[in-house]
Amino acid sequence: MCGCSSDPPPPPDLTPALARDLISQKWAQEELNHYRVTFHSDTLIECGVKNGLWKLEEIKDASGNAWSAAYRLTEKGSKIVHSIDLRESGRGHQIVLRGPYQAAITSIADGTQPANKRVGFKWNIDWDKAQADLKACLPRFELTGNELAQFELADATTWRFSSYLNPADAPPPASGGSVLGNLR
């Protein structure tokens, strides 16, 4: 007797190292790498203007009449951050970052389908590789966050990072799915 089986081999494990590497690959290709941070700072606007990251521009109506003003990224600033929403009050500034980042995988759980996994991770700006102007104006402790990512088995042997999930909207794991818990 031959002992052959028609069952396909089990899918490869999605390890923390593999998940981190797949996330880093997307970031390196400028994909899925924009994170929003919100914080308070009385010096941010002045620092960004002084370093040429953004400038105050008038917002005009169709007739050319100025009716408001807002801070807009300069060409230099758009290479460092993705977008800004700055407040004169110093409270509630929002900046969408570009990186560079470091990722630490915190959990891996089964998804709703056998070929899906949910990966929790903490990201932070890679301070050693960050632009000097970013470091001059933005507080390091604010440049971090947590995300939940969806991974899919693209074929029987290859995992891919497909999207982010809102942790509040994440479906429960598949029936019988195991949560690997926090990884250290």
Distances (CA, A) of 169 to 75, 97, 98, 177, 182: 36, 23, 25, 18, 20
* pTM for the predicted model, two decimal places: 0.78
Distances (CA, A) of 13 to 18, 53, 57, 178: 9, 43, 52, 13
What's the rounded mean pLDDT across residues 59-74? 87
User: What's the pLDDT score for residue 184?
Assistant: 35
User: What's the pLDDT score for residue 170?
Assistant: 60
* Residues listed for the chain: 184
**Cβ contacts of 93 within 8 Å, gap of 6 or more:** 38, 39, 40, 41, 44, 84, 85, 86, 87
More confident residue, 66 or 153: 153
Which range is least confidently modeled, 85-89, 116-120, 165-169? Answer: 165-169
H-type alpha helices, 29-182: 44-50, 75-78, 132-137
- The mean pLDDT of the chain is 86
**Cβ contacts of 2 within 8 Å, gap of 6 or more:** none
Model confidence band, residue 172 (pLDDT cutoffs 50, 70, 90): low
What's the rounded mean pLDDT across residues 32-49? 92
Cis preceding-peptide flag for 100 (omega within 30 of 0): yes
Which range is least confidently modeled, 10-14, 68-72, 74-78, 175-179? Answer: 175-179
What's the rounded mean pLDDT across residues 98-121? 92
Q: Give the model confidence (pLDDT) of 75-106 as tens digits.
A: 999 999 999 999 989 899 999 998 899 999 99
DSSP 61-79: -TTS-EEEEEEEE-HHHHT
